[in-house]
Amino acid sequence: MSPSPLFYQAGPALPEVSHAKGVYLWDETGKQYLDGCSGAIACNLGHGRDDIREAMLAQLDRVAFTYRTQFENAPAVALGQALVDLTEGELEKVFFVSSGSEAVESALKLARQYFVAKGEPQRRHFVSLRPSYHGSTLGALGVTGYEPLEAPFADIVNASLKVPGPDFYRHAGAGDAHHVEHVLSDTRAAIETAGPETIIAFVLEPVGGASTGARMLDRHYLDGIRALCDEFGCLLILDEVLTGIGRTGAWFAYQHYGVMPDLLATAKGLGAGYYPVGAVLSRADIVDTVMASGGFQHGHTYAGNPLACATGLAVIEVMQRENVLDNVAARGHELKDGLQALKARFPWVGDVRGLGLLWGVELVTDATTKIPFPAEQNRFARITALAKEEGLLIYPRRTLNGVAGDHFLVTPPLTIRADDIAELLARLERAMYRFDLELKRE
């Protein structure tokens, strides 16, 4: 077999996928895999759905591509209105893109142009958390806090002001409220040192994603950040690329907390793995100010693509018709209980955290000390490989700025059934048992 012309990231040779249906995929040898991470936390409705296929084919029969400066198209208008409705009309304007990185990048540029249009061009910095992940394009990478991804580009990226967020697993203090107050105080100090008048926006994920292993925030912290943004006159941008469109059991994760953003980026689950589509949602006054200054100086070839938008609209309609958010709540409780049981069994599981069907499992040398495994041991990669051998796909990363700590995400499709949750946990248990045996032999 000839070497593949494709290159992505370093790693072992991969099996070739053959086909997929529901929450399962098969490779060309016939081996079955349960998609315990929805691909890249994107395939929210599972694989091979006839209703999504039919919606895409119907749009293909009409028109697959139009350019946004030449025509409007009905799917884009309808999907835009559907997204506004999912925010209960609080974010009134929508700009379409094709990916999460593009969504974050677009939000950053819209926020900057808003302040230029207002006569505040001195606002040129963003604030974000370390660790965090917001995308791989240069602008989105600038607000990302994950050292391995940043290092090769550090001298060409306009990096944000990085501040720590709450870590309710590792912090030592007089309780969560004390910890949050300490974090908010440090954040205020960092912004005041940099100059509040220079800040465009604070960018954060309302529930952590791949870079933190579903690290949780709380209402106290988000209220505090919202208050800081209001005090200093900057915007709050929520990155819901991963958490949006039902992943946490609400349409958007911010709705669990009741803290409104000014701008919101979403993607992944919007196309549910069937077609690339993402969006920026904005307060109307921000867009009105930018449009009055000559228009948004930004765009992508596939922005508002009719096939992409027809797919996204079909995804939302399926979720509403099938009450998928109710399934997320029910299956999320089952998954949480199962992961907590595994934590009780294996002493190297330090933390299980998450919301809905977004769960992270952090690995440590000892649950009492919370000391991570040495980075060179690559434990996150090993447990992922064992899970794959057991026919389960999980999503690994490093917890502590990408240079230390190990975790994996368990994020199955939002349509997963109770019996498939049981099967997922059984396969994961077998992988964890094998991992435990390897640790005991060392």
Extract the residue ranges of the chain whose pLDDT is less than 70: 1, 172-174
Handedness of CA 252, 255, 256, 259 (dihedral sign): positive
CB atoms within 10 A of CB 14: 10
pTM above 0.85, yes or no: yes
Give residue 13's pLDDT.
84
Q: What is the pLDDT of residues 134-145, one digit of tens each?
A: 999 999 999 999
Looking at residue 173, what is its pLDDT?
60
169-178 LR contacts (CB < 8 Å, sep 24+): 169/215, 169/350, 169/351, 169/353, 169/362, 169/370, 170/370, 176/218, 176/220, 177/220
Per-residue pLDDT tens digits for 1-17: 577 888 887 777 899 99
Residue type, 19: H
Confidence (pLDDT) at 11 = 74
Q: Specify the pLDDT at position 174.
A: 58
In order of their start, the domains of the chain are 17-48+323-441 (3.90.1150.10), 53-321 (3.40.640.10)
The span from the CA of 44 to the CA of 38, in Å, is 6
pLDDT attached to residue 48: 98
Q: Three-state SS string across 358-388, please?
A: EEEEEECCCCCCCCCCCHHHCHHHHHHHHHH
Q: Can you give the pLDDT at residue 10? A: 73
